Structure 1
Amino acid sequence: MGKVVLVTGAARQLGGRFIRRIQREPGVERVIAVDAGVPAHRLGAAQFIQADIRQPAIARVLAEEAVDTVVHLDVTGVPRGGGRASQKEANVIGTMQLLGACQKSPSVQRLVVKSSTGVYGSAARDPAVFTEATQPKALPSGGFAKDTVEVEGYVRGFARRRPDVAVCVLRFANILGPCADSPLAHYFSMPVLPTVFGYDPRLQFVHEDDVVDVLRLVAARDPHRGVPVSGTFNVAGDGVLLLSQCARRLGRPTLPLLLPAVTWAGAALRAAQVTDFSPEQIRLLTHGRVVQTDLLRETLGFTPSFTTAETFADFARSRGPGLLPPERLRRAVDEVGAVLGSRVSVDEGAHR
């Protein structure tokens, strides 16, 4: 008998891609796709069950289908219909209900949870690089980042109660790619990018293809063959990009604003439903965030195919040209830098 894999969040693009991919694994017998909404995309040969994981019915699905592997992808930063309150309920209450069902199910042997590097927060006193063991200087106070902190807390509790289950938490950096649907992807799609005056944060990205690949790797491994699949792992592409570099590569001008003005602009954009320019995203675009991925490579044996720069380049191509051609913008910035550099040299020579 092969694995029976249950995947939550089937109606989202990432969930659909993973469901189609995991079916091709030789050890997988059946895939059960679950979501409260009906997917608009194909799911291959997967069995779709329309169910809300916030409801007790999810326990019946686990029992009736004899599920042994649960991949929980329905933890998302994209608000559902009903706004932030509905999003938090789906992320946190949905996870609690799912974990309760897994705890009662003797057939469940593995749990994989999609999390976010947002659990580290973004603050002025943050370390240069976060490891999985780093304690944040200030826990996220709201939004999706706070949801992920709560979700991971419940997952740790589940792991203590069911030590026989292999539990793997994957903390993804900001996911980008041609099909990316996230608040940050919406931000980078704006014709003009509001930024915080005086700050140029370091950012990391992970390509949606790498997200699917690492989920497949973890979900398809056999925990009874001595292969380590338990633990918490940062997942991000190599390297970093400054926000200013991202803007230039998109060909989009920036609009530097004082922090209070950015906060006001974020509230206005949310009210107009242009993008979810949340306080946590403003903190990210102020202080940035970089994580270490040594455990991902050494323990899981996984190296992302795309670097941060390559991930962003693929995303930028999918968004088309901005208001300013990137090459022309890059040359202009280089020319201004050269002029300023020569002027500094002249001034220094005059003072000698």
Structure 2
Amino acid sequence: MPDEATPTTPRTVLVTGASTFLGGYLVARLAANPAIERVLAVDSRVPRKDLMRRMGRAEFLRLDIRRPAIAKAIAGYEVDTVVHAATSIMETAPHSSAIKEFNVVGAMQVCAACQRSPSVKRLILRSTAMVYGASAHDPSHFSEGTPARREPKRGYGRDLLDIEGYVRGLGRRRQDIEVTIVRPQAILGPRINTRMGSYLALPVVPTVIGYQPRLQFLHEEDALAAMEHVTLGSKVGTFNVSGEGVVTLTQAIRRIGHIELPVPSSLLAPITGVFQDLRSAKLRSSQTEYLTYGRVLDTTRMRSELGFAPRFSTLETLDDFIERGGSTAVVEPDSWRSLERRVVAAAHQLQ
């Protein structure tokens, strides 16, 4: 295994999920790096025209990663670095049996293709913080070695737990392949379409009554920068990635200027669906636990071992989403602060 202190620039990089925000813009960043000889963008869907233009000299291969064609591409182009970012389909699509098949079978094919190809030396997986689940028994901060108290039984979190297992299995079978797993926190930004962004953009935001979940956000630009950093580096292992700081869900809703609607947990997903536009990324019941208990990551390894520091904090990410994301305030933040001051003053008078 190469010395981690002297990383080598990849020669030929293949990125799956090229039609998604994270996969496509990562391809664009890598293609702009003259030190990389060849960048291959893979997806079964053709990226948007503007995204395709940004990819520059990258070569687009239209193929389904669930099919043996991915192995032929990796071997034929003598790929040395594979970035499996196709799991970023979670940005927009509600989970289903078809999506589970795409995620799990696709990852199995990618791992099998890497195992058979002698040219592959690195595999990078875009995982998710959803693998930690969410429950009332969670620690204050999840480190990479902290097991989930209640592992997700369904949805993207379950898919990625299984996929991480396949990727680690590949690392054991091919010890000459460096395996890096990136677990980003909830990604938010003015351009990326995520279910969390769709949820927070609702004028009336249903929340679970009696709970105050703590949240962290990762800016879309920091998510891209982290994946680029990992691709160009040579750090092996699993890394949480998140912006600094924590915000409660109520604070986030008020900062945006929207109205909080506390409801029983069993009604959170149905009522959210009533408010959401048909074109929006839907909130599903699998996220109810997250919006009840929240999730906070320990990012010590990200800074000390990976050597990466996000440019945006959690609050700065939220503010940029508010400023450039097109969300219109229903109640101005100054009105919330004025109301809070009146409530505090009234409480003091009653003492």
Q: Give your verdict on TM over 0.5.
A: yes
Contact 2:93 2:281 in 1 (8 A): no
Q: 1:151 maps to what in 2?
A: 163
Regions of 4+ moved over 3 Å: 78-81, 266-275
Partner secondary structure for residue 129 of structure 1: coil
Cα drift, residue 328 of structure 1: 2.1
Please show how residues 150-189 of structure 1 align to structure 2 within 5 Å: 150-189=162-201
> Alpha carbons of 1:271 and 1:94: their partners in 2 closer, same or farther (altered >3 Å)?
farther
Could you say what secondary structure the match of 1:134 adopts? coil
1:56-98 alpha-carbon deviations (Å, 9 max, x no partner): 11000001111100111111324659x6122111111111111
In 2: Cα distance, 1:38 partner to 1:171 partner: 26
Distance 1:9 1:272 in 2: 24
Deviation at 1:145, TM superposition (A): 1.1
State the alpha-carbon separation in 2 of the partners of residues 35 and 168 from structure 1.
Answer: 21
Aligned residue for 2:306? 300
Q: Does 1:9 align with 2:17?
A: yes
1:38-77 equivalences under 5 Å are 38-40=46-48, 41-42=51-52, 43-76=55-88, 77=90
Q: Percent of aligned pairs with the same residue?
A: 40
User: Which among 239, 244, 253 is matched to residue 238 of structure 1?
Assistant: 244
Q: CA deviation at 1:140?
A: 0.5
The residue that corresponds to 2:321 in the other structure is 315
- Please report the RMSD computed on the Cα atoms of aligned residues, expressed in angstroms: 1.9
Report how far residue 191 of structure 1 moved. 1.5
State the 1:268 CA deviation: 5.6
Structure 1 match to 2:282:
276
Q: Deviations over 1:93-112 (max 9, x none)?
A: 11111111111010001111
1:80, 1:86 within 8 Å by CA — same for their partners in 2?
no
CA contact (8 A) 2:30 2:228 kept: yes
- Is the Cα–Cα contact under 8 Å of residues 210 and 304 in structure 1 kept in the other structure? yes
Q: Report if aligned partners of 2:188, 2:317 keep a CA contact under 8 Å in 1.
A: yes
User: Aligned partners of 2:99, 2:277: CA distance in 1, in Å?
Assistant: 16
Separation (CA, whole Å) in 2 of partners of 1:335 and 1:174: 34
Aligned residue for 1:258?
Answer: 264
Distance 1:64 1:18 in 2: 22
Query: Match of 2:338, as an amino acid?
Result: R
- Paired residue type of 2:66: R
Number of aligned residues: 337
Provide the residue aligned with 1:350 in structure 2. none
Moved more, 260-269 or 301-310: 260-269
Following superposition, the deviation at residue 216 of structure 1 comes to 1.1
Distance 1:272 1:186 in 2: 11
Runs of at least 5 residues in structure 1 that lack an aligned partner in the other structure:
224-228, 348-352
Per-residue deviation, 1:271: 11
Separation (CA, whole Å) in 2 of partners of 1:157 and 1:24: 32
- CA shift for structure 1 position 333: 2.6
Q: How far did residue 264 of structure 1 move?
A: 3.7
Letter in 2 for 1:111: L
Contact in 1 for aligned 2:189/2:321 (Cα 8 Å):
yes
Residue 170 of structure 1 aligns to a residue whose secondary structure is strand
Residues 330 and 91 (structure 1 numbering): CA distance in 2 closer, same or farther, change over 3 Å? Answer: farther
User: How many angstroms apart in 2 are the aligned matches of 1:219 and 1:271?
Assistant: 36
SS at match of 1:28: coil
Could you tell me whether the CA contact under 8 Å between 1:79 and 1:86 is conserved in 2? no
Q: For residue 207 of structure 2, what is the amino acid of its counterpart?
A: T
Corresponding residue number in structure 2 for 1:117: 129
CA distance in 2, matches of 1:302, 1:134: 21
Report the CA distance between 1:38 and its aligned residue: 0.3
What is the CA–CA distance in structure 1 between the aligned matches of 2:322 and 2:257, rounded to whole Å?
Answer: 9
Instruction: Kindly indicate whether the alpha-carbon contact (under 8 Å) linking 1:119 and 1:145 is maintained by their aligned counterparts in 2.
Output: yes
Cα distance in 2, alignment partners of residues 74 and 315 from structure 1: 24
TM-score, normalised by the number of residues in structure 2: 0.91
Deviates more, 1:259-268 or 1:241-250: 259-268
Mean Cα deviation higher: 199-208 or 1-10: 1-10
CA contact (8 A) 1:122 1:287 kept: yes
Aligned counterpart for 1:36 among listed residues 37, 40, 44: 44
Q: Tell me if structure 2 keeps the 8 A contact 1:112–1:168.
A: yes
